Chains A and B, each alone.
Chain A
Amino acid sequence: MSTDTASTLRPNDLGEALEAILDAAGALLFTGGGTKLGWGTDPTGVDVVIETTAMTDLLSYDAADATVAVQAGMPLAQLQATLAEHDQWLAIDPPHVADGATVGGVFATNDAGPRRLAHGTVRDLVIGATYVLADGAVGRTGGFVIKNVAGYDMAKLLCGSLGTLALVAELVLRVDPRPQASVTLGIPADAATAARIGVALGGAPVEPVAVEWADDTVWLQFAGHPDAVRAQADATVALLRRQVAADLEADEVEDADAVWRRLTDGLAGADGQTVVRGACLPTQLPDAAQGCVDAAGHAGVDVEIQAHVLVGVLTARVVGDPGGHAAFVDAWRARLSQLGGHAMVRRTAAKAAGGVDVWGSPPSAMGLMRQVKQQLDPDGRCAPGRFVGGM
């Protein structure tokens, strides 16, 4: 992202953030830990970067109420460490936590990991937010209690907006009890088998917290009471042998933490890769995966795939000739659209940058989205051009 000529400001709190915004002229880019600056189209002509990395305070935490308020720049790792002292956690497992991803950055990208199956994304966990518009208006939405329907839920609008509407300065979140135990199973499976496993699990009274397909394996995780996770894992294997394949192999994974770390890192990809997030209905996984392989063949690139089986979200990491990345994206997106799905580029290999279409064709509500943008950022100063439809 070209922000070389921009000046960078690091406010300490909401008040300083507001001052920074009031003082700044021109185009603004709001950043946290900087781990997902590659998301979206490169914004054009950024004049001032406002970075939240000095806004790391815990504002309030009541374990018994299971709510926590933080400044947006608090590293997610730091928040999780604080919550862990009370056997709680913010129930998300996005990538980049070890690289310094902030709570606000995860919120602004709505980034998520395999556990979104059980808990949803950060969008489902935010109960309040304070934000600053480019014109210096400061708004608060939601509150400090889990249940609250007073006023519009502005946090939903800001979540995943890539900083194109406002700077998110503070967040209030609901937290969950940290499960006492977990069990991970590895089940060899091609895409078709993975989809069948998904259907069987979805229709059964078992509650896996993550079902990830990668390396021709379905990785299943159960979390909860120590006695119960084992019983659930056993029941699940019996069920899958009945419904999917009598000779289905299922091994308990010893180094589960390492497996889940690798799977989570896989969602982010690495330098030199183009990472594309595709989505379809869960049962369409085999078609979407085949479409991904076909697109790679067509574009002359190599691709690695992984999928949140029960959510219907696939991640493709494209390697090889950067000249083919754009063609891959177009071809896979076309196939996914035929299925009623869509694709978004999450990271672009440096050399492939120019030609890659990050967003694809605009959604049916594009007109409304533009009107929202127009109302909240009328001069188009927040990360110009970064979001869908060139917003």
Chain B
Amino acid sequence: MAIDRLRDEFTTLLGADGVISAGPQLRTYECDGLTGYRVRPALVVLPTTTEEVAAVVRACHRERIPFVARGAGTGLSGGALPHADGVLVVLARMRSILHVDVDNRYLIAEPGVTNAAISAAVAEHDLYYAPDPSSQIVCSIGGNVAENSGGVHCLKYGFTTNHVQGLEFVTAEGEIVELGGAVADTPGYDLRGVVVGSEGTLGIVTKVIVRLLRRPEAVETLLADFDTPREAGDAVTAITTAGIVPAGMEMMDNLAVQACEEDAQVGLNLEAGAVLVVELDGPQAEVSALFGEVQRHCEQAGATNIRIAEDDAERALIWKGRKAAFAAMGRLSRDYFVQDGVIPRTRLGEVLERIGEMSDEAGYRVANVFHAGDGNLHPLVLYDGRNEGEADEAEELSIRIVELCVESGGSITGEHGVGADKACSMPKMFGEEDLALMQRVRAAFDPAGICNPGKLFPTPRLCGERPGPYRAHPLEQAGLAERL
């Protein structure tokens, strides 16, 4: 069989310890961070060079065997979910930083380098890599590229796509090409821009050129307590309409506060209906001039208490608490579903109240911890999988929440990606023709359809025979835009 041929070929190519085809080790790779979905791959390979990746892909292409790239496996949408009859290409052994250019402020990393390792490697030069997903200690830069990952500082600094200048890329046919580069404005179509966020469906990233930023001179962080999420939402709107772009602006509701506090002992107010974290950074004079304004806006919106981080240690503790939010949820509930919907940030208060009502109606607690500045919600629906039917009901609530986001003018995903998880929700955001055009791009990159198939796009097999009904975008309903 083809897969047996490939196993032998890959063993010759990568050595015995570069191929896993049986045994308990395979189980490690059954799922990514979306642990509810599990598939055992036919074969796992662990290449160490670009040439090895290209050779693996060429062989898969020759045999028409599907392959799936995997970084650290922290993805939350099942993007790295293996294919049962396919090859899982694990990039974790490609973890060298190949080149650092301090004066031109960029760095070239292999895809398996962790996000945090990049900033650590250039910290001595006061440089850093801006996008900082909460999973940064483990997630890989290759995975970040595939998901166009965000983080708590993306409000001011932008997402992965704004910080990745170039890629070395193995096409789905096994060719090695460069997309973009360290030098600006490379001629041709911006294929780099398409590959970023394409969730491993176009090819395999084997090198990443990232832009580095100088550490800001000053940073100020505050925690503001509010009685209700709506008031915290009002503060968010007041700050942004005043023309202030905070480095980060994060909100936690009461349930999330309780979980984080128990986990990280930040000293959060357990009585607060919502806590807002606002961070400003930049030149000292700029930060000093604006930080007072931020405090004033919080007070005017009804903040009951404002705590200002005294030093870097306290700031680090606050962020540790915030970034541990998902993990901390385990203390409140045995199981939970995480959503990643986005809404226009001006609708925060209203949407949060509606989520509260939906939670009451369904009888499941929902904790909210999210990137308030850009309206990216992470509602966590808490349930106990041991009780018959709870998982299904909780998932249903979780899906209704994300639909509410789309109806409010937003998106089904702000940073976790579509993957296997939300492929069937794509028709809620896009019409058939929109998706067909994206599929044409996919066909240009992967004519054989073997590169991470079954992800991102709805398929009849995945979503039932009929694709979900198309719903008019709210702007269309309002007559502001029309679809033909």
User: Is the Cβ of B283 less than 8 Å from the Cβ of A231?
Assistant: yes
Are A67 and B344 CB-contacts (below 8 A) given A140-B430, A368-B171, A375-B443? yes
Q: Is B463 an interface residue (CB 8 A)?
A: no
User: Is the Cβ of A64 less than 8 Å from the Cβ of B240?
Assistant: yes
B:354-369 near A, CB below 8 Å? none
Query: How far does the Cβ of A69 sit from chain B's closest Cβ, in whole Å?
Result: 7
1/0 per residue B94-133: CB within 8 Å of A? 0000000111110000000000000000000110000000
Residues in B with CB closer than 8 Å to A312 are 104, 183-184
Are A145 and B409 CB-contacts (below 8 A) given A64-B241, A178-B243, A228-B285? yes
Cα of A371 to Cα of B101 in the assembled complex, Å: 34
Query: How far does the Cβ of A55 sit from chain B's closest Cβ, in whole Å?
Result: 13
Cα of A375 to Cα of B440 in the assembled complex, Å: 6
Cα of A206 to Cα of B285 in the assembled complex, Å: 10
User: Is the Cβ of B289 less than 8 Å from the Cβ of A364?
Assistant: no
Q: Is A366 an interface residue (CB 8 A)?
A: yes
| 9-residue interface stretch from A258-266, A268-276, A298-306, A338-346 | A338-346
Q: Is A130 an interface residue (CB 8 A)?
A: yes
User: Is the Cβ of B430 less than 8 Å from the Cβ of A151?
Assistant: yes
Q: Is B435 an interface residue (CB 8 A)?
A: yes
Query: How far does the Cβ of A110 sit from chain B's closest Cβ, in whole Å?
Result: 8
Are A150 and B186 CB-contacts (below 8 A) given A202-B105, A202-B214? no
Which residue on chain B has the smallest CB distance to residue A66?
B240
Within 8 Å by CB of A283, from B103, B216, B482, lies B103
User: Is the Cβ of B484 less than 8 Å from the Cβ of A14?
Assistant: yes
Residues in A with CB closer than 8 Å to B217 are 205-206
Cα of A202 to Cα of B127 in the assembled complex, Å: 10
Residues in B with CB closer than 8 Å to A149 are 147-148, 159, 197, 411, 413-418
Are A148 and B286 CB-contacts (below 8 A) given A366-B188, A368-B191? no
A:95-154 near B, CB below 8 Å? 110, 120, 123-124, 130, 133, 137-141, 143-154
User: Is the Cβ of A139 less than 8 Å from the Cβ of B414?
Assistant: no
Within 8 Å by CB of B214, from A147, A205, A282, A387, lies A205
Interface size class of A (residues with CB under 8 A): 35 or more
Q: Is B158 an interface residue (CB 8 A)?
A: yes
A:338-362 near B, CB below 8 Å? 340-342, 344, 359-360, 362
Query: How far does the Cβ of B195 sit from chain A's closest Cβ, in whole Å?
Result: 9
User: Is the Cβ of B283 less than 8 Å from the Cβ of A150?
Assistant: no
**Most A Cβ at <10 Å: residue of B285, B343, B431:** B285
1/0 per residue B407-428: CB within 8 Å of A? 0011111111110001000100
Cα of A138 to Cα of B447 in the assembled complex, Å: 22
Q: Is A326 an interface residue (CB 8 A)?
A: no
Q: Is A77 an interface residue (CB 8 A)?
A: no
User: Is the Cβ of A150 less than 8 Å from the Cβ of B198?
Assistant: no
Q: Is B452 an interface residue (CB 8 A)?
A: no
Cα of A243 to Cα of B473 in the assembled complex, Å: 55
Query: How far does the Cβ of B340 sit from chain A's closest Cβ, in whole Å?
Result: 9
Which residue on chain A has the smallest CB distance to residue B474?
A144
**Most B Cβ at <10 Å: residue of A15, A120, A151, A165:** A151
1/0 per residue B203-218: CB within 8 Å of A? 0000000000011111
User: Is the Cβ of A224 less than 8 Å from the Cβ of B286?
Assistant: yes
Are A376 and B441 CB-contacts (below 8 A) given A154-B194, A205-B215? yes
Q: Is A279 an interface residue (CB 8 A)?
A: yes
User: Is the Cβ of B283 less than 8 Å from the Cβ of A282?
Assistant: no
1/0 per residue B456-482: CB within 8 Å of A? 100000000000000001010000111
Are A147 and B159 CB-contacts (below 8 A) given A152-B441, A153-B193, A368-B191? yes
Cα of A146 to Cα of B237 in the assembled complex, Å: 15
User: Is the Cβ of A69 less than 8 Å from the Cβ of B481?
Assistant: yes
Are A153 and B431 CB-contacts (below 8 A) given A64-B237, A203-B125? no
| 9-residue interface stretch from A26-34, A155-163, A316-324 | A155-163
User: Is the Cβ of B429 less than 8 Å from the Cβ of A143?
Assistant: yes
Cα of A153 to Cα of B418 in the assembled complex, Å: 13
Within 8 Å by CB of A368, from B148, B162, B290, B444, lies B444
Within 8 Å by CB of B411, from A120, A145, A161, lies A145
Residues in B with CB closer than 8 Å to A283 are 103-104
Query: How far does the Cβ of B418 sit from chain A's closest Cβ, in whole Å?
Result: 6
User: Is the Cβ of A311 less than 8 Å from the Cβ of B344?
Assistant: no
User: Is the Cβ of A372 less than 8 Å from the Cβ of B189?
Assistant: yes
User: Is the Cβ of A176 less than 8 Å from the Cβ of B440?
Assistant: no
User: Is the Cβ of B445 less than 8 Å from the Cβ of A150?
Assistant: no
Which residue on chain A has the smallest CB distance to residue B215?
A205
Query: How far does the Cβ of A192 sit from chain B's closest Cβ, in whole Å?
Result: 14
Query: How far does the Cβ of B300 sit from chain A's closest Cβ, in whole Å?
Result: 15
Residues in A with CB closer than 8 Å to B413 are 148-150
User: Is the Cβ of A157 less than 8 Å from the Cβ of B189?
Assistant: yes
Which residue on chain A has the smallest CB distance to residue B409?
A144
Within 8 Å by CB of B475, from A60, A153, A154, A374, lies A60
User: Is the Cβ of A161 less than 8 Å from the Cβ of B189?
Assistant: yes
Residues in A with CB closer than 8 Å to B443 are 375
Q: Is A313 an interface residue (CB 8 A)?
A: yes
Which residue on chain A has the smallest CB distance to residue B104?
A281
Q: Is B375 an interface residue (CB 8 A)?
A: yes
Q: Is B282 an interface residue (CB 8 A)?
A: yes
Which residue on chain B has the smallest CB distance to residue A308?
B184
1/0 per residue A173-195: CB within 8 Å of B? 00011101000000000000000
Q: Is A62 an interface residue (CB 8 A)?
A: yes
Cα of A311 to Cα of B418 in the assembled complex, Å: 34
User: Is the Cβ of B216 less than 8 Å from the Cβ of A205?
Assistant: yes
Are A140 and B483 CB-contacts (below 8 A) given A146-B374, A147-B414, A375-B444? yes
Q: Is A9 an interface residue (CB 8 A)?
A: no
1/0 per residue B432-460: CB within 8 Å of A? 01111110111111010000000010000
Cα of A374 to Cα of B438 in the assembled complex, Å: 14
Residues in A with CB closer than 8 Å to B36 are none
B:335-359 near A, CB below 8 Å? 342-346
User: Is the Cβ of A228 less than 8 Å from the Cβ of B245?
Assistant: no
User: Is the Cβ of A177 less than 8 Å from the Cβ of B456?
Assistant: no
Q: Is B371 an interface residue (CB 8 A)?
A: yes
Query: How far does the Cβ of A61 sit from chain B's closest Cβ, in whole Å?
Result: 10
Q: Is B182 an interface residue (CB 8 A)?
A: yes
Q: Is B390 an interface residue (CB 8 A)?
A: no
User: Is the Cβ of A342 less than 8 Å from the Cβ of B186?
Assistant: yes
Residues in A with CB closer than 8 Å to B434 are 139-141, 151
A:48-101 near B, CB below 8 Å? 59-60, 62-67, 69, 87-88
User: Is the Cβ of B346 less than 8 Å from the Cβ of A64?
Assistant: yes
Cα of A388 to Cα of B190 in the assembled complex, Å: 12
**Most B Cβ at <10 Å: residue of A62, A207, A360, A367:** A207
User: Is the Cβ of B125 less than 8 Å from the Cβ of A153?
Assistant: no
Cα of A381 to Cα of B133 in the assembled complex, Å: 43
Residues in A with CB closer than 8 Å to B179 are 365
Residues of chain B touching chain A, judged by Cβ–Cβ distance below 8 Å, are: 101-105, 125-126, 147-148, 150, 154, 158-159, 161-162, 169, 171, 175, 177-179, 182-194, 196-198, 214-218, 237, 240-241, 243-245, 282-286, 288-290, 342-346, 371, 374-376, 409-418, 422, 426, 429-431, 433-438, 440-445, 447, 456, 473, 475, 480-484
Q: Please name 10 further chain A to chain B contacts, defined as beta carbons within 8 Å, in addition to the given A154-B441, A313-B185, sorted by A numbering.
A: A140-B483, A145-B344, A202-B104, A205-B218, A227-B285, A232-B283, A312-B184, A366-B188, A372-B444, A388-B187
Chosen A-B contacts, 23 in total, with CB atoms closer than 8 Å, are A63-B241, A65-B375, A137-B437, A138-B483, A139-B438, A145-B414, A147-B371, A150-B418, A153-B148, A153-B193, A153-B196, A156-B161, A177-B245, A228-B288, A279-B185, A279-B186, A313-B184, A344-B187, A362-B188, A363-B178, A369-B191, A375-B444, A387-B188
